[in-house]
Chain A
């Protein structure tokens, strides 16, 4: 995604280190999203 955006002229791209997993593991603030689609077991 970062490379695609860079190729289209958005040059100030910064991937978040550790992604959402690390962010949540540090108990940093999050917003709750409504589940979009659930696959029934």
Chain B
């Protein structure tokens, strides 16, 4: 396959490639769609692709996926976030950042959620959970998709010459560039996965069961403090706490850790 053939393939299947990358990212897989958006923007800048069709491909990929997550969030609540946690590489921080974004910005968070890697898939079920209306969701999510893809494709369009040079260098490197990129991606996934497993292993050994906690609370055990670490949004959607618990949202824990006694067991929980 010559370079010209490869470019022709990219031009011919660019919309499909864009569709697949955007769909993968919106489904929650750790595959970034930004390189595809930049590439399509650059090709549009060179007059080889249409931005209008590219926007159509982005919407065709993102809207059904987002709507699916939204409906799941609406019907199944937090169980859906549990599913996304199993797919995502940094689920805990990503769920919390999205919740904080919703707390600060409300429904308008949907306009910008796609700009934050890993957040966009969480934003849709969360919108369903907090009761954003279906029509509002479709409008805001579509606008968000256009804003996000338009920004990246616009950058590709503006810097199409520079991107063409980079593409030419990559083409000259041939298979080596492809192998290096694949190795970097695999290394990243493995690193994140092992980090996560190590954290879970260390915490699993120290866990307290609900039965043990209830027994100790009923016995008036003064050797423990129970801390609810949920975000403000979580507390709003489920305004209950374990009896006697103090609420310190995770993002405030550094500032308020002096409130926690060092000589007692600290039981933490979230949702």
Residues of B within 8 A of A (CB-CB), count: 53
- Given the known A-B contacts A9-B262, A18-B210, are A33 and B253 also in contact in the complex, defined by CB atoms under 8 Å? no
Give the one of B203, B254, B257, B269 with max A CB within 10 A.
B269
- When C-beta atoms are compared, the residue in chain B nearest to A12 turns out to be B265
What residues of chain B lie closer than 8 Å to A37, measured between beta carbons? 103, 232-233, 236
Interchain CB contact (< 8 A) of B264 among A12, A32, A35, A41: A12
Query: Does B162 have its Cβ within 8 Å of any Cβ on chain A?
Result: no
Total number of A-B contacts with CB less than 8 angstroms? 134
Report the separation of the CA atoms of residues A8 and B209 in the bound assembly, to the nearest whole angstrom.
25
- Find out whether the CB atom of B199 lies under 8 angstroms from the CB atom of A17: no
Which stretch, B6-14, B30-38, B140-148, B241-249, touches the partner chain A? B241-249
Q: How far is the CA of A21 from the CA of B74 in the complex (A)?
A: 17
Q: Is the CB of B210 within 8 A of A33?
A: no
Is B236 touching A36 in the complex (CB atoms < 8 A)? yes
A39 to chain B: closest CB distance in Å?
5
| Minimum C-beta distance from B129 to chain A (A) | 10
Instruction: Give the complex CA separation of A12 and B230 in angstroms.
Output: 20
Residue positions of B touching A, CB distance < 8 A: 78, 102-103, 106-107, 130-133, 136, 199, 202-203, 206-210, 213-214, 217, 224, 226, 228-230, 232-233, 235-236, 238-245, 247, 250, 253-254, 257, 260, 262, 264-271
